[in-house]
Amino acid sequence: MVVELSKKDEKFRDLSLNGNIWKLIWKVSLPLAFYYTFQWLLGLFEMMMASHISALAVSATTYLSQLVNILNAIGSGLAAGCCVKISESYGAGKYDLVKKQLSTLIAMALILSGFIIALIPFTSTILKLLGTPESFIEIGSKYFIIKLVYCVLFILTTVYVGIERLRGKSKKLLILNLVTALVDFCLTWFFVYKLNCDVTMLAVAPVISTSILLVFGIFNLCFKNDAFSFSFKYVSFKKDITFPLLKISYPTMIERTFFQIGRTFMNVLASFYGELAVGALGLSNTINGIPYQTQTGFQDGGSAVISQNRGAKKIKRTEKIFNRIMIINLIIGFIAWILLNLFFNQISALFSTTAHGNDLEFQKMLINIFRWDSLGSCVPMGVSITCFAYLMGFGKTKQVLIINIFRIFVYRIPILFLLQKFTSLGPEATGIVMGISNSLTAIHIYIVVKLEMKKQCKMLENQENECE
């Protein structure tokens, strides 16, 4: 049986390989930017509502969510790496291989999901082994269990989102996300402000809303008969299918896992300044997430079309895509940095107001951390994200892994340890370290990308003599 593309997929492939680059980026990345920004808003609303319960609830949910994010990172890394290979095959016109890779990816995601479900009976032991503060276990153990269920849904929907993204179906993703965001927000608001529930119900709302997205994913991937549909017949664990998928995915899985582990270490070090410092740092990272999430939309859209053009051997076009995404992300970062710093006193008040009134100590701590954190989280992160798009598009997942190891374990954790050991700085030291590490990472990865571009150009000269 010959595997074919739908007419819409054929049209998008032609745009990706031959169409106007600005039009291509806006079509693929702009809806994704909105998609990720809405995801960020959900996390922000959850923290705001958690702060209504108590400042300790903010710290507990921040800490426990980041533990679950370690498992999320494995699943999202698997999806991201495999989607790069699928996108490359799509660009090269190998549609039978696209279907095999897609079906095998979904099968691997289901196996990983089963492993996570098997962890649920051992959650108390896991939290204690990880050194979770007793106060966090007491207030959030049930929250953590439900978050593990959400983790399974997240992994499966991430696979679906990744596949739709490389097909240029970004508008569909935006509409679906609006629906899930509305359901999530309404449920969370009802649980917290009307039923006065504890933090456990903060985890229930995302489970319900993400299930809606998963239902759409099942319908779109399992009940059609084209290259981008799942079929048990095309699932293959033979070496020629699984090895390329795992080879490109495992560095991304490790990188994203290390990144989350690094954040957990940062929380442990931040707890040196007290439990509230953990929540303040998490809030600062989340608020700085507005430019980051918007820029990530351009990263993921960009990496998809870069990999397609790489598959079609259009190397010079990949550089043009990179340059345009860099311009966009720098503008986003600069505007966000100005606006966030201008209005942060008002923003911080939203997250320091509990049912018992405004927590001025927590607000002051949040402001001090944020001012430094934002220096590295708006413009420098825009540079890093754009460079990650290029490296991921070329399948350079090992380089991405090495750079993120440097970011966490060279540029971040050791510097915070030194500041704690040899200075009298308070919680603001955590913000200073975030600013320094993100800025050094931006310089590091930009140099790596420029060297990679020269390498690709040289290879093209040797092979086809087309690179000027």
Q: How confident is the model at residue 388, as a pLDDT?
A: 92
| H or E element that contains 379 | helix 379-393
Residue 467 has pLDDT above 50, yes or no: no
Please write the tens of the pLDDT for every residue from 411-454.
Answer: 998 998 899 888 888 888 989 999 999 999 999 999 999 999 98
pLDDT bin (cut points 50, 70, 90) of residue 322 is very high
Following CA atoms 120, 124, 126, 127 in sequence, which dihedral angle do they give, to the nearest 10 degrees? 120
Please write the tens of the pLDDT for every residue from 165-184.
Answer: 888 887 888 888 888 888 88
pLDDT bin (cut points 50, 70, 90) of residue 47 is low
pLDDT bin (cut points 50, 70, 90) of residue 277 is confident
**AA letter at 453:** M
Q: How confident is the model at residue 338, as a pLDDT?
A: 94
How far does Cα 294 stand from its chain's mean position?
11
Q: How confident is the model at residue 395, as a pLDDT?
A: 85
pLDDT bin (cut points 50, 70, 90) of residue 364 is confident
Residue 307 has pLDDT above 70, yes or no: yes
**What mean pLDDT do residues 195-203 have?**
76
Residue 465 has pLDDT above 60, yes or no: no
Neighbours of 129 (CB within 10 A): 9
Residue partners of 15: CB distance under 8 A and separation at least 6: 23, 24, 27, 168
Taking the complete model, does pTM exceed 0.75, yes or no? yes
**What mean pLDDT do residues 269-285 have?**
80
pLDDT bin (cut points 50, 70, 90) of residue 153 is very high
Q: How confident is the model at residue 56, as a pLDDT?
A: 67
User: Which has the higher per-residue pLDDT, 288 or 399?
Assistant: 399
pLDDT bin (cut points 50, 70, 90) of residue 406 is very high
pLDDT bin (cut points 50, 70, 90) of residue 43 is low
Q: How confident is the model at residue 1, as a pLDDT?
A: 55
Q: How confident is the model at residue 432, as a pLDDT?
A: 93
How far does Cα 64 stand from its chain's mean position?
17
**What mean pLDDT do residues 367-376 have?**
90
Q: What are phi and psi of 358, to 5 degrees?
A: -85, 130
SS3 label, residue 358: strand
Tokens 């959030």 belong to: 140
Residue partners of 149: CB distance under 8 A and separation at least 6: 117, 120, 207
User: What tokens were used for 179?
Assistant: 């629906």
Q: Which 3-state string (H, E, C) describes 197-251?
A: CCCHHHHHHHHHHHHHHHHHHHHHHHCCCCCCCCCHHHCCCCHHHHHHHHHHHHH
**What mean pLDDT do residues 267-281 have?**
79
DSSP conformation class of 395? T
